[in-house]
Amino acid sequence: MHIDHIGIAVKNIDEAVKTYEKILNTKCTKREVVESEKVDTAFFQTGESKVELLGGTAPDSVINTYIEKRGEGIHHVAFEVDDIEAELARLKSEGFTLLNESPKDGADNKLVAFLHPKENHGVLVELCQSKK
């Protein structure tokens, strides 16, 4: 496993893209809307990892709900795995609460699944695997 990306929840993704282009001194490498999650994403490559900005596309999106409760900021840490199904089974057997019993389509050509933050010291953990 390695850190694939850090997800950051933002109110205005276009403004956040401008900010992170200045911070990272590079252009956004990819923009993508994930309709099923009602989220607009923007990626920045930073070495072998990425920064993912997440903006809601509808008032009831999970990102807008998150921002209403907690404000803008780090939303999740994503770890790339070779076999997401095996990792979900392993983590479930270790007692972690899975927010997704099976992987779903995510941004950046990935299968994704999340672990509830209550067992992760308050951190929402995403597992991701590149689609083959």
Residue 124's pLDDT is: 96
Residue 132's pLDDT is: 81
Q: Residue 20 is inside which H or E element, if any? A: helix 13-24
Structural tokens at position 47: 């070495």
The sign of the CA dihedral 58, 62, 64, 69 is positive
Give all domains of the chain, ordered by start, each with its CATH number. Answer: 2-130 (3.10.180.10)
Residue 61's pLDDT is: 96
Residues of the chain predicted below pLDDT 50: none
Residue 81's pLDDT is: 97
Residue 44: partners with Cβ closer than 8 Å, 6 or more residues away = 20, 21, 24, 26, 28, 29, 50, 51, 53
Residue 59's pLDDT is: 95
Residue 1's pLDDT is: 79
Burial class (CB in 10 A: 0-12, 13-18, 19+), 49: middle
Residue 114's pLDDT is: 97
Angle at 112 between CA 92 and CA 40, to 5 degrees: 140
